[in-house]
Structure 1
Amino acid sequence: MNGMTNNQRPALWERMSFGFGDLAGNALFGITGAYLIYYYTNVYGISASSVALLMLLARVVDSVVDPVIGYLIDHRILFGGCVRPYLKWFSLPLGFLTFCCFLPLPLGSGGRLAWAYATYLVMGVLFSLVIVPYGLLPNVMTRNREDRLSLSTFRMMGATLATFLVGSSILPMVHLFGGGNEKLGYPLAMTIAGAIGGGLALIPFFTCRERYELEANDSPVRVLLGSLFHNRAWVIITIVLSLFYINLTAFYGLSIYYATEVLHRPQYFGGLLISMMGASKVLGVTCSPWLARHVGQKLTIVLPYILSAMGLALFAYGPNSAAYLVAVFGLICFFQGMTLPVFYAMVADSIDYGTAVTGVTASGMAYSVNSFAGKVAWAIGGSLSAAFLGWGGYVPHAATQTHTARAFITFGFLGVPACVALLSVLIILLYPSEAEMTRILQPETPVEPQSI
């Protein structure tokens, strides 16, 4: 099997295997987003204010690596401009460093903080070395917009399945292996998670084909960056996708706190919400291509985001019933899941759109700066989640938190995603029309859409 159909287009099995990359990436990065704040504050004994600063500084510093990787790709400095070899060399180290983030070395307070900075920083750098090349694979696998939407759909199916697994399996493994000792349970659970995640990230290296070369570009960085900021489509989708990461960190970082301190339910309910987020987003992702074909890509972001904001209000002001909360949260995440394949299809399209309208090829730089912006947003979101705890006066292991602490947790968990949804609706309306994108990217007769 050569992985190709008639038009040198990826076959179904190749598109499906592409999704394993984000299954691994989202699982490993999701683990740090969902459990690392709790691990640092409640298990490893680092203060919430120190964690907030760590999340912000470490993520912003390591995100500078992304444009460097883009520069390496555009100038063919490493691996001859190919993107698959990055997955070969850096996937397993990424899994190992994820484990190291949860390794509780017996150090003093300063040593613990230094270890947290070092491991979180290196993990982020390795994540960039995997996810930036992985994100460029659709641009070298196919030129067809429908194929790219299909690839993005399988990618998001992998990502949302990872969310489900992160929510449903990590805490049970921690308690199973630790027997109530979280300092033992977390590193043992992360040994398994890191090994599996690193192995899954390797799959696209073996199964996906680079049918098109990314054009080499010897232009200086200022020219490459200048072309990006003259690319309206790329700027808009980068902003909206970055806002999505702030939304995601709010759900990941505060779900356990919201479950225990606001709803007065056990930790497992926070994990259940994360699991429901993953399962519901899988369903939303599968419905996304259908909606995009009927209303276009822009409305496939606008309509679900409006509905998700309404769902957040129902969640906040509804009864404290487990069945009600799980059902409404699932509905919120279903709507958000519908936006995900379109986001990444738009990123791939906007890169080629920029080449067409500016005359400058900056594929590696475009995706890497997009990833950079997402990491900064992730840093802001993670820092905000930790900061809300500090600003509200959260006290670890306290029998009851103050009203102020609960209010800050509630706003971080529900208010931030609502603001993100409404702001994203306004911004995405500025994205080029479907007709303009098709005219620029596919001036020939459109190919009939394929199913995912």
Structure 2
Amino acid sequence: MVPLLRTVVLATIHSKDNVCMPSSRPTVVHDVSVPFQLGLGERMSYACGDLAGNAMFGITGSYLLYFYVNVCGLAAGQVAILMLAARVVDSVADPCIGYMIDRRRLFRGRVGPYMKWFSLPLGLALLLCFIRLPVGAGGRLAWAYGTYLLMGIVFSMVNVPYGVLPNVMTRNGRDRLSLAMFRMMGATGGTFFMGAVTLPLVHWLGGGNERIGYPAAMAVIGLLGGLVLMVPAFTCTERYVLQPAHNPLRVMLASLLRNRAWVVVTVVLSLFYINLTAFYGLSLYYATAVLGRPATFGGLLISVMGIGKVLGVTCSGWLVRRIGQRATVAVPYGLSALYLVVFVSAPNRPVLLGAVFGLACFFEGMTLPVFYAMIADAIDLGAVLTGVRAAGLAYSINSFMGKVAWAAGGALSAAMLGWGGYVSGLAVQSPQARAFICMGFVGVPIFIACVSAVLVWFYPSEDEVMAIRLRAHAGA
């Protein structure tokens, strides 16, 4: 009986979703037999958003710590406080932007124009972060606070609307999973680009002078990244209109907190950002201080991470169809943790280390599309359960939590250097410094992978989600 009801409901939803008109009731098709409604070109152009956005924002996670400590001469402890304080402050911008989207305060409720108007300013903000002013240490620290804060706010003006785009592009669950996969391929492609190109570009443009090389490289990357980031604004069609939210803010927040699916995926995705900052922020230090290799090997590890995650993303849909969403997060996370243990125990051979690290990132990459598909589904599911629509606020708080996690992870990476007694410019670091760097680069991601593999089982199962949708349509 249940399979029959499932088929009837899915057929009903599919017939409604083929009409590109605003929908009063959020619906998502989860049956993988339902054909794609979005063309390949539109899905590829959507990926450009994270290709450029992840590259630019990832650069601040990978190289800004090194730039602050080794080029600007700021103390690691000061940088730890800076990254935590500035990121938490600018994270307040995310709920404000989400609230504006829900209230349709700008661009008549459309989300694409945000990316059109704020992408190039994001590239400029990236450049400003990597300028070393010819002033004293206090002035350089103040400049770092101001520019890092600006970078986060402008990034929010682009990233929150970008996250909402799938909800206004399609109601088809297969399309949404595909968009999430293309988004993650773009993001991991941006990671590969960041690791492979940034340091060579810095050294080439600066002629060996990092004070010149970093701002010159960021000017090029910021301009190209800003232009690529604008692509979804011109090529992704908003087929569904976000209905204006008239509920008070406290009611919208309460509805989100009642949405178990949204809470779980927000927490797990936030933990992922801490994991990411550990890889980004400490890769150069792990390469030089622990492995005794050039900093470029740290950049190579970042590129390997990008390649591994791209390959993992491409396998994600296949795995979801066989074991479901929750298991596609839990199982690969467990395998990723296992290979990180092998990585830290392996002999110091570049090819072997790169291969094992790539496998760890491959399994982690399988989880990424599932996160974003879960978020889109959780938002629609919450609207069914509570009757309150808060798509913009939901994505903005998700982005807010991600930024707080990013800040905490960046601060933790800097703190690891301080706690270990890392000394900039010292050829051979102390055993304590090497141990703390290793703990931050490998230990933290292992711990997060294990915790996330457990937490994801609190997300509703596919049967629970279907049962809720059946009840909702039965009462419609």
Category of TM-score, reference length = shorter chain: over 0.9
Question: 2:290 maps to what in 1?
Answer: 262
Query: Aligned partner of 2:315: which letter?
Result: C
Contact 2:115/2:161 (<8 A) preserved: yes
Partners in 2 of 1:214 and 1:294 — Cα distance? 33
Q: Distance in 2 between matches of 1:80 and 1:333?
A: 41
Kindly indicate whether residue 454 of structure 2 is the aligned counterpart of residue 430 of structure 1.
Answer: no
Name the structure 1 match of 2:101.
Answer: 73
Match among 346, 362, 375 for residue 334 of structure 1: 362
Tell which deviates more after alignment, 52-61 or 216-225: 216-225
- Unaligned stretches of 5+ in structure 2? 1-16, 21-36
In 1: Cα distance, 2:157 partner to 2:100 partner:
11
Secondary structure in 1 matching 2:132: coil
Residues 286-365 of structure 1 mapped to structure 2, 5 A cutoff:
286-365=314-393
In structure 2, the residue matched to 1:249 is 277
Taking the aligned partners of 1:96 and 1:68, their CA distance within structure 2 comes to 22
Residue 83 of structure 2 corresponds to 55
Paired with 1:330 and 1:390, the residues of 2 have a C-alpha distance of: 28
Equivalent residue for 1:98, pick from 116, 121, 126:
126
Check conservation: 1:237, 1:346, Cα contact below 8 A: yes
Match of 1:88 among 116, 120, 132: 116
CA distance in 1, matches of 2:163, 2:204: 35
The answer to whether residue 194 in structure 2 is matched with residue 166 in structure 1 is yes
Mapped to 2, the partners of 1:438 and 1:288 lie a distance apart of 21
2:136 counterpart of 1:116: no
Per the TM alignment, residue 443 of structure 1 is displaced from its structure 2 partner at its CA by 8.2
Which residue in the other structure is 1:46 paired with?
74
1:450 corresponding residue in structure 2: none
Letter in 2 for 1:143: R
1:72/1:122 CA distance change after superposition, 3 Å: same
Q: How far, CA to CA, are the matches of 1:441 and 1:319 in structure 2?
A: 52
**Distance in 2 separating the partners of 1:58 and 1:30:** 16
Deviation at 1:6, TM superposition (A): 6.1
Amino acid at match of 1:402: S
How far is 1:231 from its partner? 0.3
1:221, distance to aligned residue in structure 2 (A): 1.1
Kindly indicate whether residue 395 of structure 2 is the aligned counterpart of residue 367 of structure 1.
Answer: yes
Q: Is the 8 A contact 1:352 1:441 kept in 2?
A: no
The change in CA–CA distance for 1:441 and 1:112 in structure 2 (over 3 A counts) is: farther
Q: For residue 218 of structure 1, report the CA deviation from its aligned partner.
A: 1.7
How far is 1:438 from its partner?
3.4
DSSP 3-state at the match of 1:429: helix
Q: Name which of structure 1's ranges 69-78 and 55-64 shifts more when overlaid on structure 2.
A: 69-78
Query: 1:439 and 1:138, CA in 2 relative to 1: closer, same or farther beyond 3 A?
Result: farther
Q: State the Cα deviation string for residues 347-389 of structure 1 (Å, max 9, x = none).
A: 1111101100011111111010000000000000000000000
Where in structure 2 are the equivalents of 1:180-199 lying within 5 Å? 180-199=208-227
1:37 is aligned to 2:65: yes
Query: Contact 1:55/1:383 (CA < 8 Å) preserved in 2?
Result: yes
Q: Does 1:155 align with 2:190?
A: no
Deviation digits for residues 293-334 of structure 1 (CA, Å, limit 9, x no counterpart) = 111111110110000000010001111111110000000000
CA root-mean-square deviation: 1.4
- 5+ long unaligned stretches in structure 1: 446-452
The match for 2:168 is 140
For normalisation by structure 1, the TM-score amounts to 0.96
Say whether the 8 Å CA contact 2:384–2:472 is kept in structure 1: no
Contact 1:258 / 1:270 at 8 angstroms: preserved in 2? Answer: yes
Give per-residue Cα distances to partners, 1:272-301, cap 9 Å, x unaligned: 000000011110001101111111111110
Among candidates 285, 309, 320, match of residue 281 of structure 1:
309
Does structure 2 conserve the Cα–Cα contact (< 8 Å) formed by 1:20 and 1:203? yes
Equivalent position of 2:135 in the other structure: 107
Amino acid of the structure 2 residue aligned with 1:383:
A
Alignment pair present for 1:22 and 2:50: yes
Q: Distance in 1 between matches of 2:321 and 2:463?
A: 13
| Displacement after TM superposition at 1:143 (Å) | 0.7
Displacement, 1:444? Answer: 11
Counterpart selection for 2:245 from 194, 201, 217: 217
Q: Is the CA contact 1:257–1:270 (under 8 Å) kept in the aligned structure 2?
A: yes
How far apart are the structure 2 equivalents of 1:411 and 1:443? 48
Partner of 2:233: 205
Residue 103 of structure 1 aligns to a residue in which SS?
coil
